[in-house]
Amino acid sequence: MLKLKRILLIAPSEMTLTPAFQRARALACATGAQLHIVAFDYVPALAVAGLLDHDAMAQAREGYLQVHRHWLEQQARFQQCLGMQVTTEVVWARSSVTHLLEYVNDFRPDLVIKDSHYIPALDRAFHRPLDWHLLRECPAHVHLVTSAAHPKPLKILASVDLSHLEELTQGLNDRILDLASTLAASCGAELHLLNVCRWSVMNDASMSVPTGSLDDSLRAAIEDAQQEAFDVLAERYCITNARRHSLTGTPHKIIGLFAQQNAFDMVVLGTIYPHGNSWFIGSTVENVMNRAPCSLMIVKPLPSPD
């Protein structure tokens, strides 16, 4: 079983307890992982004042950061009383993707947790939100938290993609189930498995085509092969028939609707971008993320050997 050792919580710059705090504490307590909380804080007014009086600005900045450090340390002390290993840090920097990725690469967590932020479609057309960049560029698994109704998840949905050969996805389906089964076992949650059967990759290419557009015999063969692979995965992770779900439709729509209708606390799904900016498997995750029905756990493939 997968072992989570280091969890990184990216806290908001505001000194407020958000759903991500509660989920990070619950997962760290359930898995026994070390929890490190980092907050990126930056006040433009202090930075501008520093252009006129550097020493005064440095003193004001340190006083401001000390308040934030004290607040985070208070949260950590409360969690340490529960027997958890918790550390904190406040960084004077904008919460940009560059700063976050540098921090992640230095800390090397197994899992990064942060609050999910909904961005309207019009805004997404002009700039990519931070969550989107983390989805594509963060080397660790990413957990985007939408709600704290159940800090320790009670129902987890692992969504796999069987339309691609495992060689193309670098064993991503197994990594999804490794993480999902670990979290379910640690939290005492129900684990369900979902595959949406409508798309298939032809001729080992990275472009998917709807199986409905194929010849009847070819479509049946593809669906049979996917069902066989689905059953093999389910058996390997001891998922009962009642918790296996094989559905047909557009993947991101079916995943979102199914998770919402069945009140899942977390959906675990994978993403991979092996061909530069091509969408490949990542497109499904991005579309689910835009209208997340619940918290999302985004699994990354093994890093490619140099």
Q: If we measure between CA atoms, which residue out of 83, 105, 139 comes closest to residue 299?
A: 139
| Residues with pLDDT less than 70, the chain | 1, 45-54, 56-57, 80-82, 119-127, 164-170, 198-216, 218-219, 273-282, 303-306
What's the confidence (pLDDT) of residue 163?
77
Write down the pTM of the prediction.
0.86
What's the confidence (pLDDT) of residue 251?
86
Burial 234-249 (b: 16+ CB within 10 A, else e): beebebeeebbbbeee
What's the confidence (pLDDT) of residue 203?
42
Q: If we measure between CA atoms, which residue out of 90, 43, 82 comes closest to residue 65?
A: 90
pLDDT tens across 248-277, in order?
Answer: 888 888 999 999 999 999 999 998 755 444
Q: For residue 36, give both structure tokens.
A: 């490190």
The CA distance from 95 to 220, in Å, is: 49
What's the confidence (pLDDT) of residue 278?
44
CB atoms within 10 A of CB 12: 17
Cα torsion for 43, 48, 51, 52, to the nearest 10°?
-110
What's the confidence (pLDDT) of residue 54?
64
HSE, side-chain direction, 13 A CA sphere, residue 249 = 12
Packed helices 19-31 and 172-187: angle between N→C axes, nearest 10 degrees: 90
Cα torsion for 164, 165, 168, 172, to the nearest 10°?
80
- List 92's β-bridge partners, or say none: 41
